[in-house]
Amino acid sequence: MNLTSYLAGRPLQSAQVLTVRSPYDGSISGTVTLATRADTEAAIAAATAFRDTPTRYQRSEILEKTRTALEARREEFARTISSEAGLALREGRYEVGRTIDVLRFAAMEALRDDGQIFSCDISAQGKARKIFTTREPLRCAVAITPFNHPLNQVAHKLGPALAAGTPIILKPSEKTPLVAVKFAELLYAAGLPGAMLSVLLGPTADVAEVLVQHPDVEVVAFTGSVPVGKRIALTAGYKKLVLELGGNDPLIVLDDADLDLAVTLAAEGSYRNSGQRCTAVKRILVQAGIAPEFTRRLVEKTREYTCGNPLDEATKVGTVIDEASAIYLETVLQEAVAAGAKVLIGGERRGALLQPTVITDVPRDCRMVVSESFGPLAPIIIVRDLDDALTLANSTAYGLSSGVVTTSLPSAMKAIRTLRCGTVNINEVPGFRVENSPFGGIKDSGLGIKEGVIEAMKGYSYVKTFSLPW
């Protein structure tokens, strides 16, 4: 699969190409041509010069046509994800399904009127006029996306921007650019004006950093790691920032939990997408009374998560993104073991494959608990009671999402009030959402500015207020 970067809808021919390899066996998944600094500047100029914004109806139609085209090519897109990201085919299929939802909701939202009306004769200082608001597109948005949901993260940036009528320049992860470029091609084929979308791959200093720092870029929407997000915050200058960063989400399991449900949520939350979701379960905080039985059942459940060739239908867990990441996870695991933790199942690594792993007796201060470990690790930490769980849950620098398994409404409500994070899901994994609901974290996980199709459209537009004497 030989693809190109795109400058305002035009394929960029270049001798410089990025070669993308399967994390599973190193085979070549495809290539993409690279952009230069001059291409990056030209893409910004093309976006900011664009004035021929499609109508709401036209924007909705483009998004709908893209959705229909993706429906027709679901399997091909799922296989591209598995091939370049090493994710199990079932994960690629799931991600395509989510992307179809993003497009459906974005097409719906493009049609929705976003104005408000304020009568002005409501105060002694007022008069008989009316103030109206309308949302205007920005001139140029930039989206920078990570590897872990290589299609859906891209859709969550492009869908809302295009629904809002805002031209956007995408810099996808260099680890997973293929499905991103193919997605852009669907949008062009659906009638998107070329100047409304560029997709650029290239050296960080010539593409990503130029995009982030350019004064004509009005918003940078970034999803990725905390260090890169904080660097963007320092260097972007005077512009809007939407930062969706790392997570270290807890699943709290209380003594009164439905045990089957708790075990299923722990396994799904820890192992889906090879544990590489920002909202994956990264710490399982289990109340002491239920801990022995929960642990026994989670080990049994983990046996179901066969790990291997991502393109094999029987595989439930594919690779992590590359061998270096798997080695890092192995190191974190060894550190925990040296500090007294015990590996009950899993832990073996072969290349970029890491077996789903259950770890107990994990000290509260080891790296696996304090920082984000982006892989299929399920560390169990025993807590005394709800208060202990909430204190521990809140003790890290992150604040993305959380899950609480309990049958007690008072415990659920206390957790909702006390957890310092963007989302609390009761009897669900932290990652549960629908694509148009507000989503995003606080603390090191983000600035509290939400994404999800409806909220994201606000990030890609500004409110214009006008008043009339009628």
Nearer to ligand NAP, 236 or 345 (CB): 236
**Cross-strand pairs, 250:** 283
Decide if residue 225 touches ligand NAP (CB under 6 A): yes
Tell me which of 94, 147, 271, 460 binds ligand NAP, using CB under 6 A.
147
Q: How far apart are CA 7 and CA 151, in angstroms?
A: 20
How far, rounded to the nearest angstrom, does the alpha carbon of residue 93 sit from its chain's CA centroid? 16
Q: Which two tokens stand for residue 139?
A: 């001139």
**Cross-strand pairs, 168:** 141, 197
Tell me which of 223, 274, 396, 423 binds ligand NAP, using CB under 6 A.
223
Contact 402, 419 (CB under 8 A): yes
CB of 451 to ligand NAP, least distance (A): 7
Cβ count near 359 (within 10 Å): 24
Q: Which of 84, 140, 268, 278 is catalytic?
A: 278
CB of 448 to ligand NAP, least distance (A): 12
Decide if residue 465 touches ligand NAP (CB under 6 A): no
Nearer to ligand NAP, 210 or 254 (CB): 210
Q: Which of 218, 244, 268, 451 is catalytic?
A: 244
Decide if residue 168 touches ligand NAP (CB under 6 A): no
Q: How far apart are CA 67 and CA 158, in angstroms?
A: 13
Sign of CA dihedral 5, 227, 450, 239: negative
The amino acid present at 196, given as its one-letter code, is M
- Computed on alpha carbons and rounded to an integer, the radius of gyration of the chain in Å comes to 23
- Residue 184 half-sphere exposure toward CB, CA atoms < 13 A: 31
- Residue 290 half-sphere exposure toward CB, CA atoms < 13 A: 25
Decide if residue 30 touches ligand NAP (CB under 6 A): no
- Only segment of 35-43, 135-143, 239-247, 458-466 that touches ligand NAP (CB under 6 A): 239-247
The amino acid present at 213, given as its one-letter code, is Q
Q: Which two tokens stand for residue 3?
A: 């693809």
Q: How far apart are CA 37 and CA 41, in angstroms?
A: 6
Active site residue 244: yes
The amino acid present at 87, given as its one-letter code, is L
Tell me which of 278, 354, 429, 457 binds ligand NAP, using CB under 6 A.
278
- Only segment of 28-36, 128-136, 167-175, 299-307 that touches ligand NAP (CB under 6 A): 167-175
Classified as helix, coil or strand, 59 is helix
Decide if residue 36 touches ligand NAP (CB under 6 A): no
CB of 208 to ligand NAP, least distance (A): 4
Tell me which of 221, 232, 386, 390 binds ligand NAP, using CB under 6 A.
232
Phi-psi region of 428 (alpha: psi -120 to 50; beta: other; left: phi over 0): beta
Name the nearest CA neighbour of 392 among 405, 402, 383. 383
Active site residue 120: no
> Tokens 């192992």 sit at which residue?
271
Segment 185-204, which members bind ligand NAP (CB under 6 A)? 204
Tell me which of 37, 74, 139, 231 binds ligand NAP, using CB under 6 A.
231
Nearer to ligand NAP, 250 or 441 (CB): 441
Decide if residue 372 touches ligand NAP (CB under 6 A): yes
Decide if residue 282 touches ligand NAP (CB under 6 A): no
User: Pattern 389-428, binding to ligand NAP, x per CB under 6 A?
Assistant: -----------x----------------------------
Decide if residue 236 touches ligand NAP (CB under 6 A): no
Binding footprint of ligand NAP on the chain (CB under 6 A): 144-148, 153, 171, 173-175, 204, 208-209, 212, 223-225, 228, 231-232, 244-247, 278, 372, 374, 400, 441, 445-446
- Annotated catalytic sites, by residue? 244, 278
